[in-house]
Amino acid sequence: MSITENGRKRVAILGGSGFTGAELYRLLRKHPHFEVDFVSSESKAGFPVDKFYIGSIHKKKPGSLKFNKAAELDGHYDAIFSCLPTGSLPKIIQHAAEHTDYIFNVSGDYRIADTDLLNRHYPETLKHDFEGGWHYYIPEFSEINSAVKVVNLPGCMAVATLYTLYPLVAHDLIEGRVVTDAKTGSSGGGKSTTEHHAERSHNFRAYKVHGHRHKPEVEHALTYHLDRSVNLQFSVFSLDLPRGIMATSYSLLKEHVTDVDVKKAFYSAYASKPFLHYFNSGSGSPMIKTVVGTNYAEIGAYVEGRNCVSIATIDNLIKGAAGQAIQAANLYFGFPEEAGLQFEFEGAWP
């Protein structure tokens, strides 16, 4: 272990100049048990970190930490948080793994085990040898696997979709085809997105109707955790918002399954989860505005006859990426799950 002088664990961020890297740095700066000692950016190398992040520009005395290239990573870190673009981590995975106990990865490279699916969606994963092993980890559903080097977090739209389906599949309440539409804010495309503001602003449109790589991830996650398959139609839509996701799943309940059965399934699955807020009947419904700026997910399920509509909302950059990575690291290192994430809604209402 690499304990710093103030007793906190030493961590690094790879890909620190993107939206997710910025959120990780912002959150980890206030974390009681982690201290950031290295932040990489190929384009910002040598630039002071605190002068780059919007959340730091008003500090009277910015810190001395500067961006470095990923290849300059040296020494030992208790954890590395990788926010590199998909396809980048496999190219340096061996080097990074030599300098840490765990890599908490928010990109897609190690989310799927199926070789054919990897070739189709994450081809770089198979081009680079790595013997450290990886584990697909959802804090609310997964067991800790301390034998692997890479702890891979789910995609933002994938995890929101899983929150809508997990109790239904776990309790074997649905049958037939499931249709999910996931609506996402513009930050989900990262800083390199080619979508122009004029196309997105004051608009709502289909982004990818078929073939999105989060579809096989959802199917894989349900099979991996519950050993049950789902016939899923998954489509993604672009919202005129900077951040936030709403995933809506439409499913058919099995005969004799009641509204009470659905309520019990969701309540039993989520009642003890600190960041999952399940709306029971009459208590409201999920919204994007009330989760933006937090690590919370809001979830609701609504039944009419055999038709079930389940909804989940999250902040794609926090619960869908940076916050969930910190949540996972807390659990892996034995810290309270909510450590460093106990902040309330940071925006304004209404």
Supply the residues annotated as catalytic.
156
How many CA atoms lie within 13 Å of 338's alpha carbon, on the beta-carbon side?
Answer: 10
Within 10 angstroms of residue 206's Cβ, the number of other Cβ atoms is 11
Task: Please give the helix or strand (H or E) that residue 229 lies within, else none.
Answer: none
Rounded to whole angstroms, the Cα distance separating 344 from 139 reads 20
Instruction: Cis check for the bond before 85: say yes or no (omega within 30 of 0).
Output: no
Q: How is residue 27 written in tokens?
A: 């959150």
**Residue whose C-alpha is closest to residue 333's, from 6, 31, 78:** 78
DSSP 102-145: EEEE-SSTTS---HHHHHHH-THHHHS---S-EEE--TTTPPP-
Amino acid at 196: H
**Is 108 in contact with 86 (CB distance < 8 Å)?**
yes
Inter-CA distances, 181 with 145, 168, 173, 184, Å:
32, 17, 20, 10
